[in-house]
């Protein structure tokens, strides 16, 4: 049995948690909220029904893989990355790196993580874990959604790394090969915040940022006309709760994590204005959580008539107002 000495920690989200853990192992002390904030993880996008999307949906973070890329660019971290066309070659390279005592981040289909209970697992190709060891028939992995290091069957790892479908992993793996000795925190925090402000406030794309939240509020009242039946509509309405709370977000569509980033930034930079903004973002997150609970309740109870959908629409539109005010004010702070 071969196992790398690796500090396992649970985290709010798989990508930010995995990146933070790998960087800490490589000698760069950084928290998960710092990874999230510096990489401009906070985001919003609303996507209408289209040939490749059977029902409208929304996202509350930048696209998978972007946190790692933004962190690398802004901090000066160099990651080695690889995709594989052959499962055998992907396994061979992973095993070679483990033999060199290198913990490796991999992208997998969440469904095949069989150390988790079956009722919890769904097919999502954008899950990240860290592989830290191997014995005869299992890999030893650090998954931020599991309380301790876990064992994963080798066959399950292969299935997860080479699952097909949307955002197929294709055996993707990554690990840091160099990290900076010092970080210019004012500079990288400023870049992270300014980039987030651009996407939330200034992008001309009509379904991104504040415009995306407004579109969501307008379009959600039409969801009953797009659903196949009441059961389908109930599923999609309840999925609002899943997207905001359950898919590794740390709650309220990453708004709580962003508040923590701003609080930690205020401490690092001794900037009380950022601390005040952190409190405001917590309150914004509370509003998103109210939407989560409302959507879960009306979906479960099949109480999805026109008045309830209008109420949901109003709650979402209110978020667009407060987030526009928030990012406008954040843009005025000198860091």
Of 150, 149, 171, nearest to 159 (Cα)? 171
Q: What is the pLDDT of residues 156-183, one digit of tens each?
A: 999 999 999 989 999 999 999 999 999 9
Mean pLDDT of 111-121: 91
Secondary structure (DSSP) of 61-109: EPPTTHHHHHHHHHHT-EEEEE--S-HHHHHHHHHHHHHTT--EEEEE-
d(CA 172, CA 156): 15
pLDDT at 1 over 60: no
- DSSP assigned state of 144: T
- DSSP assigned state of 227: S
pLDDT at 127 over 80: yes
The fraction of the chain above a pLDDT of 70, given in percent, is 99
pLDDT-derived band at 152, boundaries 50, 70, 90: very high
Report pLDDT for 248. Answer: 61
Average pLDDT, the chain: 95
Report pLDDT for 335. Answer: 87
Report pLDDT for 120. Answer: 83
């Amino acid at each position: 049995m071969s196992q790398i000495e690796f500090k396992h920690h649970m985290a709010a989200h798989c990508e930010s948690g995995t990146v933070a853990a790998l960087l800490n192992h490589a000698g760069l002390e950084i928290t998960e909220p710092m990874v999230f904030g510096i990489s401009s993880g906070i985001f919003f996008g609303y996507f209408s029904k289209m040939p490749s999307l059977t029902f409208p949906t929304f996202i509350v973070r930048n696209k998978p893989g972007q946190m790692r890329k933004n962190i690398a660019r802004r901090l000066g971290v160099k990651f080695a990355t690889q995709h594989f066309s052959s499962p055998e070659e992907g396994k061979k390279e992973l095993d070679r790196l483990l033999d060199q005592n290198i913990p490796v981040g991999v992208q997998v289909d969440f469904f095949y993580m069989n150390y988790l209970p079956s009722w919890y697992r769904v097919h999502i190709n954008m899950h990240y874990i860290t592989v830290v060891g191997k014995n005869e028939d299992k890999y030893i992995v650090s998954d931020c959604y599991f309380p301790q290091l876990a064992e994963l069957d080798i066959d399950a790892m292969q299935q997860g790394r080479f699952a097909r479908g949307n955002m197929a992993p294709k055996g993707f793996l990554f690990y840091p090969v160099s990290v900076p000795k010092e970080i210019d925190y004012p500079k990288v925090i400023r870049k992270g915040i300014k980039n987030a402000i651009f996407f939330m406030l200034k992008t001309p794309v009509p379904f991104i940022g504040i415009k995306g939240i407004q579109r969501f509020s307008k379009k959600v009242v039409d969801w009953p006309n797009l659903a196949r039946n009441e059961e389908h509509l109930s599923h999609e309405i309840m999925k609002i709760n899943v997207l905001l709370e359950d898919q590794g977000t740390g709650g309220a569509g990453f708004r709580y994590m962003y508040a923590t980033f701003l609080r930690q930034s205020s401490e690092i930079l001794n900037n009380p204005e950022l601390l005040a903004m952190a409190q405001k973002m917590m309150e914004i997150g509370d509003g998103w959580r109210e939407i989560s609970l409302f959507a879960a309740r009306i979906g479960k109870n099949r109480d999805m008539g026109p008045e309830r959908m209008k109420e949901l629409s109003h709650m979402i539109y209110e978020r667009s107002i407060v987030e526009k005010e928030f990012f406008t004010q954040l843009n005025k702070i000198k860091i």
